[in-house]
Amino acid sequence: MKINDIIKKRRSVFPPQYNDTPISEALIKTVLENANWAPTHRLTEPWRFKVLRGGAKDRLGTFLSNTYTDITPDASFSPFKHKKIINNCKSANVIILICMQRDLEERIPEWEEIASTAMAVQNMWLTCSEYGVGSYWSSPKLIEYMGDFLEFEEGERCLGIFYMGNYDAEVELDSKRESIANKVKWLD
């Protein structure tokens, strides 16, 4: 079945692995459209996305690296990490900020809205993978400060950074899992 292949072939592909080939707007819209079909309890549809391209990516890189400098004690500051933050934003062709809109009436628990948003991201990730585009979900502590970069609606917050970029086919994409048998109990 095709679905088995699609799921098993998805990988995290990181910004240093990306090349300069642009991602079309049509493909970005396909990725977002597929996100929109995630399951959602009470149809709260909590996923929100901010699509950053061009100069907006650089502004994010500057914001995140400056924030890293501000919040990191001198003793643990890493110039390597500081540069990596900037380079990740430059290397990605598209960055989608993964955000979640809490139902203001709180009709369902927050974890269900986070779960629903994560399912939307899985749709995005699988779509990228199937189209041969590299992507991955990054969740640095810095996302807690994203409200200083973006104007959020009341109850909205950032859950991560989804980096996207084309990559050369020969890049080795590694991943492994312990057997599912160790994680399942069957009851008859």
Ligand X SMILES: Cc1cc2nc3c(=O)[nH]c(=O)nc-3n(C[C@H](O)[C@H](O)[C@H](O)COP(=O)(O)O)c2cc1C
Interacting residue ranges for ligand X, rule: CB under 6 A: 11-12, 136-140, 160, 175
Nearer to ligand X, 46 or 160 (CB): 160
Nearer to ligand X, 6 or 104 (CB): 6
Q: Minimum distance between the CB of residue 119 and ligand X, rounded to whole angstroms?
A: 11
The total number of residues shown for the chain amounts to: 188
Nearer to ligand X, 136 or 149 (CB): 136
Q: Minimum distance between the CB of residue 140 and ligand X, rounded to whole angstroms?
A: 6
Q: Minimum distance between the CB of residue 181 and ligand X, rounded to whole angstroms?
A: 19
Report residue 180 as tokens. 């599912």
Q: Minimum distance between the CB of residue 176 and ligand X, rounded to whole angstroms?
A: 8
Instruction: Concatenate the DSSP letters of all residues of 127-185 into one string.
Output: HHHHTTEEEEEE--GGGGGGGGTS-PPTTEEEEEEEEEEEB-TTS--------GGGG--
What distance in Å separates the CA atoms of residue 91 and residue 60, rounded to the nearest whole number?
Answer: 12
Q: Which residues pair with 164 in a beta bridge?
A: 94, 135
Distance between alpha carbon 113 and the CA centroid of its chain, in Å? Answer: 16
Nearer to ligand X, 24 or 78 (CB): 78
